[in-house]
Structure 1
Amino acid sequence: MILILKNLATDDQIDHVLRRVEEMGLQHHLSRGTHRTIVGIIGDEDQLREEPLRAIPGVAQVVPVLPPYKLASRDAHPESSIVDVSGVKIGGGHLGMIAGPCSVEDPDRMFRIAEKVVASGANLFRGGAYKPRTSPYAFQGMGEDGLKLLREVGNRYNIPVVTEVTDPRLVELVSGYADMLQVGARNMQNFALLTEVGKSKRPVLLKRGMSATITDLLMCAEYILSQGNMNVVLCERGIKSFDPATRNLFDVAAVPLVQQLSHLPIIVDPSHATGRPDLIPACAMAGLAAGADGVHIEVHDCPEVAKSDGPQALLPEQYDQLAGQMKSLAALLGKQFSTLPGSPNPSASDPQSSINSETVV
């Protein structure tokens, strides 16, 4: 931690600052410059964060040397982490390909969509059984019946399933059916929920809140990690903007920025970021080109009758075309989409497609 003192700080104020640091059991180093005086502090930064350092007379600015998200930070974990979701790897050159409808709906439709996205190469199937909706009168999901159906789809097509959990009280129930728990944008800062999914044994897909900064996102990931669950995948899904041309603003720069700051994998969700099927392919490719560890896309075979978010869903044939393009781009980037457990790896015999080993968490 570094304290930058005010230009007109008196000697008495400087001595008081040093005494306060010593009273906290910490060491200090005073450096007087021509225009600035700074105090370097050595010790437990967790203790420092609990102290109102800015309130000490003479202090102008408090600058942390290490980020507050210690477990999520790349400083603490230099190697990129790989998250294993029931045999499907995300991170470290392995790409997740999440696809499916916004909501779990009738069985025939779910099986049809799953069959088509799996044939296109999807390696995780998504669908919401519990839906946090802006209106209390909108479709709220099928609940546990939806979870059971989602599990049936996963078992039939041997594909891991991811679904949103909206309430701390539902974590145990949802964990009994899903391979991966999603914390949606509206719940990103639901700290009670983050704590509970952190205690679970399931990998977590943490979506960026609609008005959240990068630090906010990583601090929420820290909540999960601090409970012992190190299997966290971040998701850039767009942030609020003044421009109504798209549903949200797709912050593609968040991908390389997060990867500089954190070892956690990060994927992109162009469906929620744009809300427009005509923009999803370009934004999906842009996310991969920026270094994303996967893509999350909503797919529906009849969007006009979808229970939720039909207008932003791709048709299966549109998704199939995009999937082929994403695979080609991944090959150019030296990465590969993870295959489903038990499926042959099409690039296993290609020495050019080998992935550098990374730490698996």
Structure 2
Amino acid sequence: MEKLLVHKNSGLDILVKVKNIVIGGEEKVIISGPCSVEGYDTMHDIASGLKKIGVHILRGGAFKPRTSPYDFQGFMEEGLKTLKIVGDEFNMPIVTEVMDSKDIDLVLRYADMLQIGSRNMYNYSLLKEVGKLKTPILLKRGMSATLPEWLYAAEYIMANGNENVVLCERGIRTFDTYTRNTLDLSSVAAIKQKYRIPIVVDPSHGTGRRELVARMSLSSIAAGADGLMIESHITPDKAISDARQTVSIDTVGQIVKNVRKFDGMFRD
């Protein structure tokens, strides 16, 4: 473990640039948007609201890995086109998931940052391929991954030449069933204390309950997170995917205000 490229002894803390947005610097970066990319009108309204409240990066899934093969799988390239159009319109970088090595070139035409989802954290062939790029990578923690396993997944990317990696804590499976997952904020504190890689937290997947997202967002910042990834929608209950954990634009706005206030207290 001590030989990892992500270890602090191997150099200065990594700062990852997604277009003009820096992750790992002084400002906490907020990533938000719906779980799944929807039609242009809906995405336009979501992005417009998020831009006004200070969200930095727009997220949305065009390819959706689902537990059931009968669930909605995303709009694929049409979704990517919509995301790109809206992102350009509001001057917001976009992050979206790539699920297969064969789709990398396609997703790269539209995305500013590639997400490796929880299910693909162990997909070492995919990790090696995105390691050959210079494009920023958002690496979500596997749902049952230990901290060393997660760091070694990041290492697969970095060892192949791409140091533009941001970790994303999104909760792990435990015996508890009240929340969708158990948000492991101790891992955030450990990474910030010992390693040089930026980390953001996804309290939406981490809890699966929209009423817990705001509190866990502040808890994540207190643990040292460099930013947040929050699922949002103009009408959360009507979101195509993960409606139960999706919050309103107004809620994201309040979270943004509280994060700035909270972070300012630590700086003072």
* Pair in the same fold by TM > 0.5: yes
Higher relative contact order (CA 8 A, sep 6+): 2
- Of 134, 137, 140, 1:207 maps to 140
Aligned mates of 1:137, 1:197 — CA distance in 2? 29
Identity of aligned residues (%): 47
The equivalent residue for 1:144 is 77
Equivalent residue, structure 2, for 1:327:
260
Deviation at 1:75, TM superposition (A): 2.1
2:101 is the alignment partner of 1:168: yes
AA at the equivalent of 2:10: A
Q: Is the aligned partner of 1:223 residue 2:166?
A: no
Indicate the residue corresponding to 1:122 in structure 2: 55
Once the 2 structures are TM-superposed, how far is the Cα of residue 113 of structure 1 from its aligned partner?
0.5
Check if 1:71 corresponds to 2:15. no
CA deviation map 1:253-277 (0-9, x unaligned): 1111012332000111100000111
CA distance in 1, matches of 2:56, 2:49: 12
**Partners of 1:315 and 1:260 in 2: CA distance:** 33
Counterpart of 1:96 in structure 2 is 29
Counterpart residue identity of residue 313, structure 1: T
Q: Which among 118, 131, 154 is matched to residue 185 of structure 1?
A: 118
3-state SS, counterpart of residue 234 of structure 1: strand
1:126, 1:144 → 2: CA distance? 15
Give the superposed CA RMSD: 1.1
Structure showing the higher helix proportion among its residues = 2
Q: Does 1:154 align with 2:87?
A: yes
If you compute each CA radius of gyration, which structure gives the higher value, 1 or 2?
1
- Paired letter, 1:319: V
Q: Could you list the runs of 4 or more consecutive aligned residues of structure 1 that deviate by over 3 angstroms after TM superposition?
A: none
Residue in structure 2 matched with residue 274 of structure 1 by the alignment: 207
SS at match of 1:178: coil
2:224 — aligned with what?
Answer: 291
Task: Please report how far the alpha carbon of residue 304 of structure 1 lies from its aligned counterpart in structure 2 after TM superposition.
Answer: 2.5
Task: Name the aligned partner's letter for residue 261 of structure 1.
Answer: K
Q: Given the alignment of the two structures, is residue 250 of structure 1 paired with residue 150 of structure 2, yes or no?
A: no
Structure 2: runs of 5 or more not aligned: none
What TM-score do you get using the length of structure 1 for normalisation? 0.73
TM-score (norm 2): 0.97
How far residue 321 of structure 1 moved from its aligned partner, in angstroms, is 1.4
For residues 204 and 36 of structure 2, what CA distance do their matches in structure 1 show? Answer: 14
In 2, Cα distance between the equivalents of 1:259 and 1:217? 14
Query: What secondary structure, in the 3-state scheme, does the structure 2 residue paired with 1:219 have?
Result: helix
The equivalent residue for 1:10 is: none
What does residue 251 of structure 2 align with? 318
Name the residue aligned to 1:34.
none
| Post-superposition offset of 1:67 | 2.4
Any unmatched runs of 5+ in structure 1?
1-65, 335-351, 353-361
Compute the displacement of 1:84 (Å): 0.5
Aligned AA (1:152)? I
Q: Structure 2 CA distance, aligned partners of 1:288 and 1:304?
A: 27
Query: Is contact 1:175–1:200 with CA below 8 Å preserved after alignment?
Result: no
